[in-house]
Amino acid sequence: MDFFRVENMDDGTRFVFIDNPVDRVNTLSERMFPELGAILDEAAADPPGALVFISAKADNFIVGADIKDFDNVTEPGQASGMITRFHGLLNRIESSPFPVIAAINGPCLGGGLEFALACHFRIATDSDKTVLGLPEIRLGLLPAGGGTQRLPRLIGVRKALPLMLTGRHLDARHAKGIKLVDLVVFPYSLPDTVKKCVAYFKKRFPRKSSAPGLFSLDRLIASVPPARKLYFSMARRQILQETHGNYPAALRLVDCVETGLSKTMADGLHAEAEAFGPLILSPQSKAMRSLFFMQTALKKKKFGDPKPVETIGVLGGGFMGSGIAAVSAEGGYRVLLKDVSWEKLSEAVGSIWKHFDRAVRRKRKNPVERDKFFSLVSPTLDKGSLSRAQVIIEAVFEDVGLKHRVLKEVEDDAAADLIFASNTSAIPISRIAEASSRPENVIGMHYFSPVTRMPLLEVVMTEQCADWVLATVVAVGRRQGKTVIVVKDGPGFYTTRILTPFMLEAVKLIEEGASIREIDSAIRRFGFPVGPLRLIDEVGIEVAAHVARELEGLFSGRDILTPVALDKIPGAGFLGRRKGIGFYDYTSRPWDRLRLPAFKLERPVNRNIYGLFDRPRGKVFDPLEIQARLVYLMMNEAALCLQEGIISTPEDGDIGAVFGLGFPPFLGGPFRYLDNHGAGRTVLEMERLAERLGARFEPAPILVHMAENNDRFYAG
């Protein structure tokens, strides 16, 4: 056998070691099915005392299906047949007359978890690498290996459905808390631990039903048709409210769960197989799978040999600085957090503690992990103490004079190989490096707000930057848990540069008479998680205006101008979400505490802001025009960044836009969307907008060239 190795123990237990011979991780593929079938045939002919599935790999169980196989599917029936064969094997495992145990160490995801769910018992190690989940939704798919049927039956539909719809991962202890696993053990010598546990499981086999209690809501949903209908109706309403129908897999997933609960498990499995085929061929899944492959390739990309880093200094304990300190501590770094007063440091340290404590309350960390990470953060007022750091990340206000001053202060006491990284969103790093005696050690590390949640880090490299400096900060970013793209220096770099015209056009639309709500609603229907005006509120209106002014020189001659009203808004006291009011009113309302996601109430618009604009009244805009004006400007700027070498590949551009700015994942990013939309069609529509609205819509030369030659950014 290629994928499995079978060992019989003296006590009658049979171990099946899973070992993908061509990769360092175990994945499921059709090539494994005949071998698995043969193992089950042998077990049926010669029943063991217990059958244990365990990985021969040191750090993973089964990470999911081999996604590359999906690209070979050409018709829905082909995928449905593959799923039906997988169902047959898992049903045989589930109906075995002897206990079948999954021994899990490391990732157990997607099809790997569905495999484990078919086993009668699950043991998981408490290794920090052990995570369980069904993340298929992130690839535009659904858990079609019985996940939509077995998970709700095991832990209840109210816990199972959110897990599948978010694709969230659980650690072993959280999984045990919801009865997804039966035992949590130390990771050392897992086979020996399993041998000791086999007798325990034999006594409990066949296991009693884990169905929810007689008066539980899960039992009510499963057994009372009106309750079930209401629950799934609310679930669909929430999905449509959040996705606007852009993610068909979510609705198909709910259909499969409901079918299995209202009919039989066999009906539910059939629904899975029938739904999976069309989804795997959908443009949404193809785009999201392309992002997955690009993200995976980016993690493996080499940038040279990094120097070792043990301590990171963070200058500035504000919202961004405290977030950078938190993710650095989670990466295992010692963190020196400096600010100008103990009051500011106290606020920053309190914010960091809240982040870690929230993770404990949500069962994503245990109290020991929280205390360990928190203990790595040391607040200080002494700039001299920063000399112990190998990397200093500056997160002070967006003012080049201030950044010059802190850079000079740091270099006074620093070693010759200290790396100074600026977390600026718009100021060219070369301008900041002008104040440095070692400009080759200065680099940009542009984080996104909130740092603890946003996955992207944009590393900005100047012409003078040393290769080892780049390699080191990329390694730091990856250890902080970030997806890292490397871009060349310039005003706004890549992400801020393509975002600024997008946001300025939204403000210009208000000037022309559009309402705040219709602008944001149109962009959310396009697929962005928030609208541009809500995003400006999140960034801070004063910051957004400052960034727009910073990029004016870049946009001069292209009619991308900062509306006068954008400078007036902060002066009127409308500063954005963190100050309670901006384009929207964020002051608390009594009903906000109810937190009814299926009946989510929109934030009220701050109508006083309209008085700052000289605008016509009562004008209604077509949502498609709003979408075209904003999205075309963003994509055009992305194309210019590729043309000018700010980004080196379309892959970097798509990763940056999706994971940093919320460009719709189901479209694959601006470059993937341009390919699917067609360069010729894009150029034609932009030229029409340019005739009507001005030079800012003139298509980038690279797009014109591609349209003339019927070219694409990606090969397939």
Question: pLDDT tens digit string along 433-467?
Answer: 999 999 999 999 999 989 999 999 999 999 999 99
- pLDDT of 65 reads 94
The pLDDT, as a whole number, for residue 438 is 95
- Residue 382 has a CB neighbour count (10 Å cut-off) of 10
The pLDDT assigned to 209 comes to 66
Q: What is the pLDDT of residue 536?
A: 96
Which residues are known to be catalytic?
A: 458
Contact 187, 105 (CB under 8 A): yes
Q: Would you give the DSSP letter of residue 585? A: B
Predicted local confidence at residue 391, as pLDDT: 97
DSSP per-residue codes, 544-575: HHHHHHHTHHHHTTTT----HHHHHHHHTT--
In CATH terms, is domain 4-281 a member of 3.40.50.720? no
State the sign of the Cα–Cα–Cα–Cα dihedral 324, 329, 333, 338.
Answer: positive
Residue 711 has pLDDT above 70, yes or no: yes
Answer whether residue 133 shows pLDDT above 60: yes
pLDDT band for 36, please (50, 70, 90 cuts).
very high
pLDDT at 210 over 70: no
Does residue 673 carry a pLDDT above 60? yes
pLDDT reading at 396 higher than 80: yes
Angle between helices 623-644 and 670-677 in degrees, nearest 10 = 110
pLDDT score at 214 = 57
CA distances from 4 to 1, 26, 58, 631 (A): 6, 11, 15, 50
What residues does 334 pair with on adjacent strands? 311
Q: Could you tell me which residues come within 8 angstroms of residue 515 by beta carbon, excluding any fewer than 6 positions away?
A: 605
Percentage of residues of the chain with pLDDT beyond 90: 88
d(CA 210, CA 181): 12
SS3 231: helix
3-state DSSP assignment of residue 490: coil
Q: What is the pLDDT of residue 670?
A: 98
The pLDDT value given to residue 381: 94
Tokens read off for 713 = 């950014």
Residue 119 confidence (pLDDT):
98
Of 144, 138, 141, which is closest to residue 115 (Cα–Cα)?
144
Question: From edge to edge, which strands make up the β-sheet containing 108-109?
Answer: 108-109, 131-133, 170-171
Q: If pLDDT is split at 50, 70 and 90, which confidence band does 213 have? A: low
Contact criterion met (CB below 8 Å) for 639 and 672? no
Mean pLDDT of the chain: 94
Q: What percent of the chain has pLDDT over 70?
A: 97
Q: How many H-runs (helices) and E-runs (strands) does the chain carry?
A: 29, 17
The predicted structure's pLDDT at residue 593: 57
Rounded Cα–Cα distance for residues 74 and 647 (Å):
33
Comparison of pLDDT for 599 and 366, the residue scoring more: 366
CATH 3.40.50.1100 for domain 496-645+678-709, yes or no, is no
Task: Answer yes or no: is pLDDT of 679 > 60.
Answer: yes
Quick one: how far is CA 352 from the chain centroid? Answer: 21
pLDDT of 632 over the 90 cut: yes
Q: Is the pLDDT of residue 595 over 60?
A: no
pLDDT of 170 = 94
Give the DSSP H/E element, type plus range, for residue 460: strand 456-461
Compute CA distances 575 → 457, 523, 582, whole Å: 26, 22, 5
For the segment 67-77, the average pLDDT, to the nearest whole number, is: 91
Structure confidence at residue 373 (pLDDT): 97
The angle subtended at Cα 412 by Cα 375 and Cα 426, nearest 5°, is: 75
Instruction: Show the tokens assigned to 579.
Output: 């100050």
Q: What is the pLDDT of residue 596?
A: 52
**Hey, where are the domains in the chain?**
4-281, 311-490, 496-645+678-709
Architecture, CATH, for domain 311-490: 3-Layer(aba) Sandwich (3.40)
Q: What is the enclosing helix (H) or strand (E) of 422?
A: strand 419-422
pLDDT for the residue numbered 589: 66
Q: What is the pLDDT of residue 537?
A: 95
Edge-first strand order for the sheet with 334-338 is 377-380, 334-338, 311-315, 391-394, 419-422, 442-447, 456-461, 483-488
- 594 vs 66, which has greater pLDDT? 66
The yes-or-no verdict on residue 492 having pLDDT over 90 is yes
CB 105 within 8 A of CB 59: yes
Provide mean pLDDT across the span 399-424: 93
pLDDT of 234 above 80 = yes
